[in-house]
Each structure stands twice: as C-alpha cells, then as structure tokens.
C-alpha cells in the first residue's frame, strides 16, 4: 500500500493496515474498505485535491447529525485535511425489510425537528463539490437565494452550463421566494445531500446516513432531494408526514427545492440535467414568456 496518506491513518487510529480495497460509487472522493491488523474493517475516503477543509467539514457535519440522537449516522473514527482522508465505522450492507422505510421516515422527522441555530452553518464552512456558501441567515428565503440559487446561477453562467434564459429564470425565482409559503419555518437540521446513495441499509435492515452536506435549512429540501432520484419508498414519506406534517403547498414547492441540486448536476455533468433544470423552472412559471 503506497498511498501517501496510509501512514497518517495508521498513526491516527493507532493500528496498522493490512489491506486496502477500492470501492465503487461516488463521483467526488475515492472510497476504500480498509482491513486493520486487529481484523477490524474501516471505511476510508480520500481525494487527490479536495476543497480546503473538505474532510474536517464532513466530519463536523456527521458529528452534528449524531448529536440529534435520532437517525443512525456513520461514526467518525478520524480525519485529516492534510493529507486528506476520513475514516468511518464500516457498515456491512444488506437488504433490509420494507418496514425499515417507516422507521427511517420517523428518524428523519426527528432529525429535522432537532433544529439548527441558523439557516446555513455557524462555522460558515462551504459544503459539497461546488463548495456552496453556508453564511448564517435568519430566514429560509434569504438563505436559499443568497447561499444556493444566486451563487449556483453565477457558476452555471461562468461555466456556460445553462442557457441564458435559464439563468434569467433562476434569478427571477430568487425574487419570489417570500411568496411561495412555508418561509416562516425555523431552521431544520438537514443532511443536505439526501439521495438514495447517501442512505445505506445494513444487514439488519437499519438505515444509516453517510456523506452529508449538513447545514440548517428548510426541511422540505431533504425530502425533495429524496424524491429527485428515487430510492425511497412511500412508507418513509408517510411516516414523516404522520410525525411532523408539512405545511400546505409542499407539493408545489418540490421543484423549487430540487432546483439547487439540479443546477449542481447540470454544472458537473450537463446532458439531461440541463433539461431537468428547464422543466423545474417551467413548472414554477419562472420563464418570462410563461408569465405573460
């Protein structure tokens, strides 16, 4: 094992490493299953050139989710930004029973309800592969406009990732966030990147959260992300709604909350995500021609 960070991991964990197996999945960091000399397995992540403070930010986010005491979250064993790596407890994957979906929905409701001190992050650290800002804000419309839609619109324009009409429509959306409803909710404790690949199920059918972009935000954001790429059953959403009902109009706001991750994917991958951004904007009536 000639990886330059291996010795740093061994020193931090206080145990040698006997084997390192590359795992599939993930579009940003490289993932491994490490076998330690004591026989224990550890999940490791690293990156050749991550944004500043990337793994310490992720470690802090995981710890913040753990502090809520509701959802199961992969435990941090160690981390470093130089050299860059993150070690987590290894979760053996399995195929859990469908009933776990309801348990996950209830756990997620509890996680959101545990709250956050602000919209954004108190430490102001950026999150995600696009390093979106998390400047503390006192309300959701300000946060979603200033820390998500506006900076992402600028990056999409600079990267020529979206047509000009989409950029203009995104800017119009930011001016109407106070009119869409549910803007009076307090900040929820969000996972922040809750697609199916960041919820793993162990051999006992229990759901675990990994790879967060944790921040204080609108709870509908996590739920909209779950609907964007699928992988969650109706029982999870039904159980969530029973625990903490959503405000009226939440269905109409789903494409609004999906805009940010869709723009991120359009910037990174292009292709069909450009059309998906256009579809979401059209559903929100954000194109000037559609508003006449």
Query: 6-89, which class in CATH?
Result: alpha beta
pLDDT, position 4: 80
> 23-27, 56-60, 166-170: lowest mean pLDDT where?
23-27
Position 24 confidence tier, pLDDT thresholds 50, 70, 90:
confident
Tell me how far CA of residue 230 lies from CA of 45, 70, 165, in angstroms: 25, 23, 28
Band of residue 287 on the pLDDT scale cut at 50, 70, 90:
confident
Is the pLDDT at 270 greater than 50? The verdict is yes
* 100 included as an active-site residue: no
Q: Is 162 exposed, middle or buried (0-12, 13-18, 19+ CB in 10 A)?
A: buried
Q: What is the CATH number of domain 100-291?
A: 3.90.1200.10
State yes or no: cis peptide before 83, omega within 30 of 0. yes
> Over pLDDT 90: what percentage of the chain?
88
Catalytic residue, from 67, 123, 184, 193: name it. 193
Does residue 117 have a pLDDT over 70? yes
Exposure string of 127-149, with b = 16+ CB inside 10 Å and e = fewer, is bbbbbbbbebbebbbbbbbbbbb
- Chain segment 225-258, per-residue pLDDT in tens: 999 999 999 999 999 999 999 999 999 999 999 9
Per-domain residue ranges of the chain: 6-89, 100-291
Residues 239, 102 contacting (CB under 8 angstroms): yes
Q: What would the pLDDT profile of 67-111 be if each residue is shown by its tens digit?
A: 999 999 999 999 999 999 999 999 998 865 556 899 999 999 999
Q: Higher pLDDT residue, 291 or 186?
A: 186
């Amino acid at each position: 094992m000639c990886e330059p960070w291996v010795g740093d991991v061994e020193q931090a964990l206080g145990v040698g490493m006997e084997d390192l197996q590359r795992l599939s999945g993930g579009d940003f960091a490289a993932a491994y299953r490490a076998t330690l000399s004591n026989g224990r397995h550890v999940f490791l992540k690293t990156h050749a050139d991550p944004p500043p403070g990337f793994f310490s930010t992720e470690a802090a986010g995981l710890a913040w989710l753990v502090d809520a005491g509701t959802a199961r979250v992969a435990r941090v064993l160690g981390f470093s930004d130089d050299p860059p790596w993150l070690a987590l407890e290894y979760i053996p994957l399995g195929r859990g029973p469908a009933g776990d979906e309801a348990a996950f929905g209830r756990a997620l409701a509890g996680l959101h309800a545990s709250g956050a001190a602000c919209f954004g992050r108190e430490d102001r650290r950026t999150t995600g592969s696009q390093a979106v800002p998390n400047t503390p804000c006192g309300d959701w419309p300000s946060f979603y406009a200033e820390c998500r839609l506006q900076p992402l619109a600028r990056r999409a324009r600079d990267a020529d990732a979206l047509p000009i009409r989409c950029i203009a429509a995104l800017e119009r959306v930011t001016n109407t966030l106070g009119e869409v409803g549910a803007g009076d909710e307090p900040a929820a404790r969000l996972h922040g990147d809750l697609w199916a690949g960041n919820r793993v199920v162990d051999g006992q059918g229990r759901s675990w959260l990994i790879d967060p972009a944790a921040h204080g935000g609108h709870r509908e954001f996590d739920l909209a992300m779950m609907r964007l790429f699928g992988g969650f059953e109706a029982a999870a959403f039904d159980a969530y709604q029973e625990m903490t009902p959503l405000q009226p109009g939440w269905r109409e706001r789903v494409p609004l909350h999906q805009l940010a991750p869709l723009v991120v994917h359009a910037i990174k991958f292009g292709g069909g995500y450009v059309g998906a951004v256009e579809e979401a904007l059209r559903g929100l009536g954000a194109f000037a021609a559609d508003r006449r």
